[in-house]
Amino acid sequence: MAFVADGASVNWAIHKQHFSQMIGILDLTHALSYAWKAAKALGEPAAYQRYATWIWQGEVKKVIDELTQRRSTLNASAEESTLQDSAAENPVQRAIT
């Protein structure tokens, strides 16, 4: 049996608490769409190819780590203030969470 979910941490907490006997599977479509939106929001749509490769290879943590680093190293600009918005409004934060 399998537990399929997107990358939201709440889903994986539910998996761990109630369905740990099932194999956890990341919903590829959601993960890829979040990665695309994050790369586009960072003004770097070409990064999507790297993110997609990592996601496909099961290395989602690399995507999260890079997006976290990019978010924290942005210069003080309009982009930075946008990245501080809530996860619902911010594609980078949404991809990380």
Query: What pTM was computed for the model?
Result: 0.70
Residue 77 tokens, joined:
């600009």
C-beta of residue 6 within 8 angstroms of C-beta of residue 27 = yes
Instruction: Give dist(CA 93, CA 82) in Å, integer.
Output: 10
End-to-end CA distance of the chain: 25
Q: Tens-of-pLDDT digits for all 97 residues of the chain?
A: 999 998 788 999 999 999 999 999 988 998 999 999 999 999 998 999 999 999 999 898 999 999 999 887 654 444 545 555 555 568 888 888 7
